[in-house]
């Protein structure tokens, strides 16, 4: 049985991840960490610990961004500068591509306009930078931003960032489709 690995922040962990695992359980062995992979540098660090679970993966689907692009402090800076984010994504992609040619990166989903730490202009800028960084490396792009953007208020929870059940299922369908294409 082929193996799929799901990596990513809470958009995966409490969002689409369990739905993807359920949808693919008869076709693939699915592994995903019980941990929130948080920001990209945390994911990069954790790849070392995850090696035994991911080294034989046939497909790896991954997302990072929501933590990286947030503005927690009043200095106006994102948690991770966009250049550092892209460098870290490049490193993660290099490691994942050494395991399998079937690496998929999911764009960061939008947030409600009332989110005081994130905004959709920044989400789009980080997504565009990620695509410019990863596509030339051969990483496939899965546009989860586009899935949710059509009805942000109807798909994002009152916490202003996480997917509601409807959005999690729609994103899961898109993830499953991307994995099956590989």
pLDDT the model gives residue 153 = 96
Cα→Cα distances 33→4, 74, 87, 124, Å: 12, 32, 23, 27
What integer pLDDT is reported at residue 51 of this predicted model?
97
pTM for the whole structure = 0.97
What's the pLDDT tens digit per position in 9-20? 999 999 999 999
Task: For residue 160, give the nearest of 125, 121, 128, 117 by alpha carbon.
Answer: 117
Tell me the CATH number for domain 2-181: 3.40.50.1110
Q: What is the mean pLDDT of residues 93-114?
A: 98
Alpha-carbon gap, residue 71 to 92, rounded angstroms: 23
Cα separation, 34 vs 23, in Å, equals: 18
How large is the average pLDDT for residues 56-74? Answer: 97
* φ, ψ at 125 (rounded to 5°): -65, -45
Q: Where are the domains of the chain?
A: 2-181
Q: How many CB atoms lie within 10 A of CB 163?
A: 24
């Amino acid at each position: 049985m082929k193996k799929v690995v799901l990596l990513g922040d809470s958009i995966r962990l409490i969002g689409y991840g369990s739905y993807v695992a359920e949808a693919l359980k008869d076709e693939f062995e699915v592994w995903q960490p019980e941990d929130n992979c948080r920001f990209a540098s945390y994911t990069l660090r954790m790849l070392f610990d995850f090696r035994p679970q991911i080294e034989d993966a046939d497909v790896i689907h991954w997302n990072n961004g929501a933590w990286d692009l947030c503005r927690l402090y009043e200095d106006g800076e994102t948690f991770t500068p966009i250049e550092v984010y892209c460098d870290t994504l490049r490193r993660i992609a290099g490691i994942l591509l050494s395991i399998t040619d079937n690496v998929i990166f999911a764009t960061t989903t939008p947030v409600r306009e009332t989110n005081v730490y994130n905004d959709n202009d920044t989400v789009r800028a980080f997504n565009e930078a990620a695509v410019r960084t990863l596509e030339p490396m051969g990483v496939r792009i899965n546009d989860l931003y586009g899935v949710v953007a059509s009805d942000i208020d109807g798909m994002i929870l009152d916490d202003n960032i996480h997917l509601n059940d409807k959005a999690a299922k729609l994103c899961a369908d898109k993830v499953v489709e991307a994995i099956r294409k590989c």
